[in-house]
Structure 1
Amino acid sequence: MVVIQAKLIFLNQQDKQIVLDLMRRWSSCMRFAYKRLLEGYDRKTLKRDLQGMFDLNSRYVDDAIMKARSTLESARELGKNPKKVIFGGRDLFGKLQKHHINGKAYKKLKTKWHEKRKGNLYSRGDKSKKGNLNTRIEVKENGTFLRINVGERKYVYAKIEAGYKKNKRREELLKEIAESNIPYSVELKLKNGNIYTYFAIEEEYPKIKITKDKGVIGIDINAYPDNISWTEVDEKGNLISYGSIPMPELASGSSDKREYFRWQYAHEIVKIAKEKGKAIVIEGLEIKEKGKRGDYSGRKSRRIRHSFSYKSLLSKIKTLAKREGVEVIEIDPSYTSIIGMLKYAPQYMITKDIAAAYVIARRGLRLQEKIPDNYIKFLNTLTVDELEELKEHVKKTVRNKYLKKKHLKEIKKAIEILQSLESKPGRVLRPLYGTSFSAYDFWRVLKVAVVTPLSPEKVKRDFSTLKELLIQGKWRDS
């Protein structure tokens, strides 16, 4: 996606006030829609009711609902309480609540907050409507203008004052967009009394040249420690090389700084894929699954989870790869970390994160993970009594209440699986996909039985101790 920023210059103050009023009504509509979505209202009902309430056409209302839904989903993905979202910015709102700010400083801060809260308008693109129906770029003899639908078949024209982008005038790019009729989204924002516009255009990507025919690069993004683990495999799934890219810059700093470095890390991954001539495999996993409370201390884990823009980084990798003609394969991430830590970390003496990246790469090639025979033998000797003893051990030794709760829940599930098998005569574990005891159930029980005793109080990253069990079938005192 290409975004072009520009400033709007109005022919007179009256036109500007009309647009500001439209932005205020649209912003109110979006906030109202957000509250109603929290209450369970559906889009169809909202679209019908909000048009008359805020004096907006159906397309503006639909766009407001879409933005509200996007904000709601974003809050949930970040693990935040959607009911506590503050439009206008939580930081600004918090500063306004502090009594030591007054006079001009307070007035300036309040104006900034109101601009962010009330000075917004979004209009999505539509190819069938000459690019955009409500906010359309029009090229005239005296310049390039944005035609804004302000209701009742009335329009306000504002001149687009654009700068430069990639050695080409933004205005020239906007003219090309207007003449091509490609869909483009328009977003207006009020800042320091001026109205700025952001044009977003979907890119046309080149034909894919680098595919999975010669193998893939599997990547696993980790919240702690901040790093991208990658593995290179051939077309048969054999491990060729691997590495890790530390990302310390994402742990702190301004949002602009973190955004800059996300692009840099994405460039590094795509560069590796191009040099090795292999496609990229990524997992569609949300960050909230990567940094749950209990992995480390609660506060630290939550800070990492909220600052580590996992989804944003994946999106940038996908975008850059498409620009370079590199195929990107997205896979189901279920149990990639568990399989990696139990099967490949001890086998190749690699880290848990590298092993997870290896599983991701193999899954991108649609390869099944055969469960090692010695693991099956081990699980056939495992008893419910042993898991009950482990449960008591966790209760006594684990101090972190979130981690303790997580362990106990996993042990309980493992016990239920074993009990269901013990009710069958001649129990023999043969984990197969599609059976009552699936391969995923196997990995879950195995993780509880061997990983939890080794490191009950923190996430273990070195699994070399499992090599003896994996290769020779020997486990601790057995």
Structure 2
Amino acid sequence: MTSSEKEKGNPLLRFMELDGKLHLRITTGNREFIYAKVLREPSNSKDKWITFMLMLLESWQTKNYFAYTVELKLRNGEVYGSVSFELPTPKVKYTKENGVIAIDTNASPIHLAIAEVSKTGELLSYQTISLHHLLGLSQNSKDHHEWPLAHQIADLAIQKNKAIAIENLKKLRKGMRGDGKAELRKRLHQWNAKKFLQKLKRVAMLKGVEVVEVNPAYTSAIGMLKYAPQLNIDKDIAGAYVIGRRALGFKEDMPENYEKLLKDKAYLEFALKRYEEREKELRELIEKETNEYKRNALRSELRNAEYARKLLAHLIQSLQSEPSSCEGANGRNPEQGRSNLVSFVAWQVLRVALLFPIFGKVLPRDLSPLKPVLVEGVWDRVRSRLVPLEAGGTVPTRDF
């Protein structure tokens, strides 16, 4: 049976929302109904059910209803249904030729980092959107909140006359275990970034907004080491900025002072010593810890420290592996999507050499102490003290 575009739908079969969940209302008599809970879940990012759900939600909000056909069948005492509808194919109007709205998903704390990037690669504006209110909700309730959020971001792209840039869904990091950290593991289990980005892609398609997917490799590392201290922004905003620049075809060069640091044997030996000391501390903590979850977190940190130490030891031994910079910060990448493996490795080595040795932690929130290193090359102050710098200062916020 087919719903009407002029009315709210077919009086016999109609999809409705009850208590934040999708139901099919079935008429059994004169204004008598039964409500069947819909259990359908998208099978993949191209599943047309995502588009149907989007169109359904939008029709409820705008009162602009569309036609669909529902067919029900009874099998072994269970009711199965199929839905047919006309799939819209709007023309793409908002493209990356005018820049992008770049999205980075983050779990600690759980939020979206959004950066507006001009077509010439400059950061124009930024904001963050907390997703903490989604934790603990059922999947249907999450869908109820995520669809409007996807609309909000697509409308922002339309307002700014730009495309949307996201991480490639096939290469999106999973990290479901949370590296032994119970709270992080819980958040990752309760919110699926990939499902939200699938919704965003579908909303953007229906609104004529181009979506550019990029390889997410080392976008966070480049953002936190290069742009967070340089522009005095949060590391997650900086990661979104790198996603946006990569979507526009820009490559990231290694700043000159960072290149010099990776050739400074004395500094690298200082960094190596920091990791050796940390390994010893972690082994002692593991021996004393009785909580298995905390032991797992410590073991994960120990593996990372061992990897960092080996990486630095190899670099010190050879000092022949030059960091490979690209054409320049504003150089175009002639082959969009083709990653430079050597460059990525250089950023990983730089992350290992800088963050823990200087801050005493792997993921500091405030990266402003890196600015003197980045701009002036003053890592000798750190090396001479053989103790980490104290992170201070605040990061200002700026909204769209």
Query: Where on the TM-score scale, by shorter chain, does this alignment land: which range?
Result: 0.5 to 0.7
For residues 458 and 251 of structure 1, do their structure 2 counterparts lie closer, same or farther at Cα, with a shift above 3 Å needed?
farther
Task: Determine if the alignment matches structure 1 residue 305 to structure 2 residue 210.
Answer: no
Give the distance between the partners of 1:452 and 1:188, measured in 2 at CA: 61
Aligned residues: 314
Q: Secondary structure at the match of 2:252?
A: coil
Q: Which has the higher contact order (CA 8 A, sep 6+)?
A: 2
Q: 1:378 aligns with which of 246, 249, 261?
A: 261
Give the distance between the partners of 1:211 and 1:254, measured in 2 at CA: 35
Task: Determine if the alignment matches structure 1 residue 396 to structure 2 residue 281.
Answer: yes
Q: 2:168 aligns with which of 262, 278, 284?
A: 284
Q: 2:367 aligns with which of 458, 463, 466?
A: 463
Q: What CA RMSD, in Å, does the superposition of the two structures yield over aligned residues?
A: 3.8
2:357 equivalent in structure 1: 453
Range moving further from structure 2, 385-394 or 466-475: 385-394
The residue identity in structure 2 corresponding to 1:446 is: L
2:141 equivalent in structure 1: 257
- Contact 1:234 1:240 survives alignment (8 Å): yes
Give the distance between the partners of 1:380 and 1:435, measured in 2 at CA: 24
For residues 312 and 441 of structure 1, do their structure 2 counterparts lie closer, same or farther at Cα, with a shift above 3 Å needed?
same
For residues 291 and 341 of structure 1, do their structure 2 counterparts lie closer, same or farther at Cα, with a shift above 3 Å needed?
farther
2:127 equivalent in structure 1: 243
- Contact 1:8 1:197 survives alignment (8 Å): no
1:48 equivalent in structure 2: none
Give the distance between the partners of 2:315 and 2:295, measured in 1 at CA: 30
2:218 equivalent in structure 1: 335
For residues 416 and 390 of structure 1, do their structure 2 counterparts lie closer, same or farther at Cα, with a shift above 3 Å needed?
closer
2:68 equivalent in structure 1: 173
Give the distance between the partners of 2:136 and 2:211, measured in 1 at CA: 29
For residues 187 and 416 of structure 1, do their structure 2 counterparts lie closer, same or farther at Cα, with a shift above 3 Å needed?
farther
Give the distance between the partners of 1:311 and 1:187, measured in 2 at CA: 31
1:324 equivalent in structure 2: 207
Give the distance between the partners of 2:141 and 2:320, measured in 1 at CA: 57
CA shift at 1:223, angstroms? 1.7
Give the distance between the partners of 2:305 and 2:342, measured in 1 at CA: 17
Q: Which runs of 5+ in 2 are unaligned?
A: 1-13, 16-23, 29-39, 49-58, 287-293, 327-337, 384-400
The residue identity in structure 2 corresponding to 1:305 is: L
Q: Identity, % of aligned pairs?
A: 33
Determine which structure has the larger helix proportion and give its number: 1
Q: 2:103 aligns with which of 219, 224, 231?
A: 219
Q: What whole-Å deviation, never above 9, does each CA across 1:72-98 have from its counterpart, x for those lacking one? A: x99xxxxxxxxxxxxxxxxxxxxxxxx
- Contact 1:7 1:195 survives alignment (8 Å): no
1:364 equivalent in structure 2: 247
1:203 equivalent in structure 2: 87
Q: What whole-Å deviation, never above 9, does each CA across 1:353-390 have from its counterpart, x for those lacking one? A: 10000000000011000110111111111445742541
CA shift at 1:188, angstroms? 6.5
The residue identity in structure 2 corresponding to 1:348 is: L
Q: What whole-Å deviation, never above 9, does each CA across 1:420-467 have from its counterpart, x for those lacking one? A: 55555x736242579998111111111112112345567322211111
CA shift at 1:337, angstroms? 0.7
The residue identity in structure 1 corresponding to 2:129 is: I
Q: What whole-Å deviation, never above 9, does each CA across 1:30-70 have from its counterpart, x for those lacking one? A: xxxxxxxxxxxxxxxxxxxxxxxxxxxxxxxxxxxxx9xx6
Give the distance between the partners of 1:319 and 1:421, measured in 2 at CA: 45
1:231 equivalent in structure 2: 115
2:290 equivalent in structure 1: none
The residue identity in structure 2 corresponding to 1:318 is: K
For residues 291 and 469 of structure 1, do their structure 2 counterparts lie closer, same or farther at Cα, with a shift above 3 Å needed?
farther
Length-normalised TM-score, structure 2:
0.67
2:320 equivalent in structure 1: 427
Q: 1:477 aligns with which of 382, 392, 397?
A: 382
CA shift at 1:197, angstroms? 1.0
Q: What whole-Å deviation, never above 9, does each CA across 1:207-233 have from its counterpart, x for those lacking one? A: 100101111111101122121111111
Give the distance between the partners of 2:215 and 2:118, measured in 1 at CA: 20
Q: Secondary structure at the match of 1:322?
A: helix
Q: Which runs of 5+ in 1 are unaligned?
A: 11-66, 75-123, 126-164, 176-185
- Contact 1:211 1:278 survives alignment (8 Å): yes
Of the two, which has the highest radius of gyration?
A: 1
Task: Determine if the alignment matches structure 1 residue 293 to structure 2 residue 178.
Answer: yes
- Contact 1:233 1:240 survives alignment (8 Å): yes
